Amino acid sequence: MPRVVCVYFPFLATDRIRRHGEGAVPADQPLVVISRSGAKRWVSAADTAARKVGLRVGMAASKAQAVVANLTMVDADPAADAAALERLAIWALRQYSPVVAVDGTDGVVMDTEGAEHLRGGEEMMISGLVNSLRGRGLTARAAVADTWGAAHALTRLTGAETTVVPARGTTKAVVGLPIHCLRLPPETIQGLRVLGVETVGELSAMPRAPLTLRFGPQVGRRLDQLFGRIAEPIEPLRTPELVGVSKNFQEPIGAAETIAKYLRRLVGELTAKLEERGLGVRRSDLFIYRVDNTRQSIRAGLQKPVRDPARLSKLLCDQIEKVDPGFGIEKMVLVAVMAEPLEERQVASSLIEEQVVDVTPLIDILGNRGQRLYRSTPVASDVPERSVGRIAATADETGVDWGVKWPRPSRMLPRPEEIETMAVLPDQPPVVITWRGKRRRIVRADGPERIFGEWWKRPIEMEAVRDYFVVEDEQGERLWVYRSGDGVDAGTGSHRWFLHGVFG
């Protein structure tokens, strides 16, 4: 079932001005955008600081100035707002989904079917999306639902930063919403309110024929789109610089072998166009248009720009099993969503043949199957759980190395697990430990290795220490345990014992 994400920017104009406007506007300084019509001037957008002091959209500009003495007023620029929204849509297209479009004047809509699992599920996906936008100075709300209409309404009519409507839970989520969420003309909304209709549930319970006779077919169509009874296709955003190729079929196709055959041809045409421009593809989208006026898409991403038709064809053909041709496919479109410069380089001659193993094709295959790939790299920290970081699978070496002389276990636990011990304080290792219900007698031990807290990063760790021991039990299993604290001063730690790792 398709899943739709709507992202709403309630303060798009003011956020844009704070980020890109002339002159810095302090965060606590009220900011409003002023629109004009002849001699009339009114507030068309107000940020959070302005709303806190009582300013509202639609208020006369003169009244707003009288209410707030130090008010910052900027003339409206609809063209700049539209350009900013389009840039956000292109960013979402490259990062989240092949199917992205602008949603009105203040939002973006995406079809995320099949993409959410790459980001840990829908909740994590939209939470990460909102957090990423916040890091860019933008206020956003996001909602996931089965239909465009439901997701659009929930982002604008609920105060929640993120909303996830369960699959097939649209009806329950929207029946209580006011009718202006249906994206109907203002005069239609006013006419329905004259009839006493205030909510979606009340409107859907009314006979369809009288509504159509009085207001036209749009009311019924919007209701059906909201509840998912009829499709509301999202026309993907396309910019002139995107390189793409397409194939129309006189007779619909449906066999996987036929789809693969024409897909390879499209890849050949696409790579030829990219070669003319000196580009390589980093992310490509294949759109499949069926005869029943529905659309499917698959995406292939690569670690670095390439123009190898065989490699790109394999990544896309591996996903053909996801395609449901239905009653037949009438059109296929292949687009290079992300393309980067790719120059041919002369390979230096050598008397000895050098073999350099390129693992990026394997990384691309696993990544397009939904695997989240990374490499571990050393981090300059004495605290064990902070001494390892994650970098991209094909990232360059960081040049950092572990500088410890003491041995480290081959398997580090995600979190240290508390153990029961018998030990002589302050400097002796335990003689007996109980871990996960199993009692172990210690026959050998080495230590302590004292690790101090990083007080320059976390003042609370000014006096904190850990004493680590490498211990071996009767069965020959070697464990890495530590005592929190120095065994004397309670301010250095709790003096409880933990197991942090197991040696191979």
| H runs (alpha helix) in 284-370 | 309-317, 360-368
Q: How far apart are CA 82 and CA 88, in angstroms?
A: 10
Q: Does residue 240 have a pLDDT over 60?
A: yes
Q: Contact 244/238 with Cβ under 8 angstroms?
A: yes
Beta strand pairing status for 295-306 and 279-290? antiparallel
pLDDT-based confidence at residue 344 (cuts at 50, 70, 90)? low
pLDDT-based confidence at residue 372 (cuts at 50, 70, 90)? confident
Residues in the chain: 504
What's residue 345's pLDDT?
Answer: 65
DSSP 90-156: HHHHHHT-SEEEEETTTEEEEE-TTTGGGGTSHHHHHHHHHHHHHHTT---EEEEESSHHHHHHHHH
The answer to pTM > 0.75 is no
Tokens 């496919």 locate to 329
pLDDT-based confidence at residue 222 (cuts at 50, 70, 90)? very high
Lowest mean pLDDT among 11-25, 44-58, 117-131, 429-443: 11-25
Q: Two tokens at 9?
A: 């920017």
What's residue 399's pLDDT?
Answer: 72
Lowest mean pLDDT among 121-130, 290-299, 323-332, 353-362: 353-362
Q: Which residue has the higher pLDDT, 182 or 25?
A: 182
Q: What is the 3-state secondary structure (H, E, C) of 165-232?
A: CCCCCHHHHHCCCEHHHHCCCHHHHHHHHHCCCCEHHHHHCCCHHHHHHHHCCHHHHHHHHHHCCCCC
Q: Contact 81/18 with Cβ under 8 angstroms?
A: no
Average pLDDT, the chain: 89
Q: Which residue has the higher pLDDT, 283 or 20?
A: 283
Q: What angle do CA 378, 383, 386 make, to 5 degrees?
A: 50
Q: How far apart are CA 374 and CA 390, in angstroms?
A: 6
